[in-house]
Chain A
């Protein structure tokens, strides 16, 4: 039993190390930040476009930054299946949010009136959606830090409402915080793991 647990912790350590590069923080932070900035400057199309490209960008950054330093690894089938389920869930959540956004946009453009709950608590709901999204990625990657970001997002939208600050700032501020934290984590990662000259070594030749 102890042996199994020990191997489990070893696998978890390897997985956390592989995702300890801050790239997920940066991607999520950029989605939140761009959404807030888009609302502030009436350029709401910015965030959905970035959100749609975030995953391929993240994968490319993973190959270009993380793999070059940490090396290439394929985790176990069980871990892969869990990742796949998580990605499907995130895709569904993202699609649902996007459809909801399109619906709200269509109502506003056509001069219609939004339901009362959306008028009063639209930003709170938006903050909640971001928090669920960020926490879901946190669960998927096993990163506790992302759950803290979710709390920051919720706290920020609630406080901005209570303090009477612009609602957009309630989204922009956590976006800036997440991007800043992600940048710090990435810099620490880059300083800790130097770029390897090549993956090649005469393994087994000596």
Chain B
């Protein structure tokens, strides 16, 4: 890639693909600003479909970036989701890496 530093190319290769996907980045960003939210709240905030949100939450949970807990309110099931410390660190690392890549592209 002409104009791109070698370091930037290396960083691109190291970018966390779990965070990089737009849907998952949106979910993580929404969770980063609240303490805990349920599935419906994330559905409204992200604009994703139920299926898409469910699949991506599964991947984030698998990576340990979100914690999913199920409880009942008035006998109605509720899925509560929160960002884990690992997820927050992954987001911060991702932001730092992307900044480095952008700096590499412009310089």
A42 at the interface (CB under 8 A from B): no
B61 in contact with A204 (CB, 8 Å): yes
Q: A10-B29, A74-B35 are in contact. Are A204 and B68 (CB under 8 A)?
A: yes
Whether the pair B34, A11 counts as a contact (CB closer than 8 A) is yes
Q: Is residue A202 contacting chain B, with contact meaning CB distance below 8 A? A: yes
- Is A119 located at the chain interface by the 8 A CB criterion? no
Q: Which residues of chain A come closer than 8 Å to B68, judged between CB atoms?
A: 203-204
Docked-complex contact B34 and A73, CB < 8 angstroms: yes
B54 and A204 within 8 A (CB): yes
Known: A11-B33, A75-B35, A200-B39. A17 touches B54 (CB 8 A): no
What size tier do the contact residues of chain B reach?
A: 35 or more
User: In whole angstroms, how far apart are the Cα atoms of A17 and B54 in the complex?
Assistant: 22
Complex interface bits, B49-88 against A, C-beta within 8 A gives 1, otherwise 0: 0110111011001100000101001001111110000000
A75 adjacent to B34 (CB under 8 Å): yes
Instruction: Tell whether, in the assembled complex, residue A193 and residue B44 are in contact, meaning their CB atoms are under 8 Å apart.
Output: yes
Chain A, range 112-150, C-beta contacts under 8 Å to B: none
CA distance A93 to B33 in the complex (A): 31
CB distance from B40 to the nearest CB of A (A): 3
Chain A interfacial residues counted at CB < 8 A: 27
Q: Looking at chain B's contact residues, is the secondary structure mostly helix, strand, loop, or mixed?
A: helix
Given the known interface contacts A199-B76, A201-B79, A204-B54, the answer about A74 and B40 at a Cβ–Cβ threshold of 8 Å is no
Q: Is B9 at the interface (CB under 8 A from chain A)?
A: no
Is the pair A72, B80 in contact by a Cβ cutoff of 8 Å?
Answer: yes
Q: How far is the CB of B81 from chain A (nearest CB, A)?
A: 7
- With A71-B42, A73-B37 given, is the CB distance from A201 to B76 under 8 Å? no
Given contacts A203-B79, A205-B54, contact A76 B44 (CB under 8 A): no
Q: Is the Cβ of A72 less than 8 Å from the Cβ of B37?
A: yes
A72 touches B38 (CB 8 A): yes
14 residue pairs of the A-B complex, CB under 8 angstroms, read A3-B95, A7-B32, A11-B34, A14-B45, A70-B40, A76-B33, A196-B40, A196-B43, A199-B76, A201-B79, A203-B57, A203-B79, A204-B58, A206-B51
Q: Top 5 nearest A-B pairs by Cβ distance?
A: A71-B41, A71-B40, A11-B33, A200-B77, A72-B38
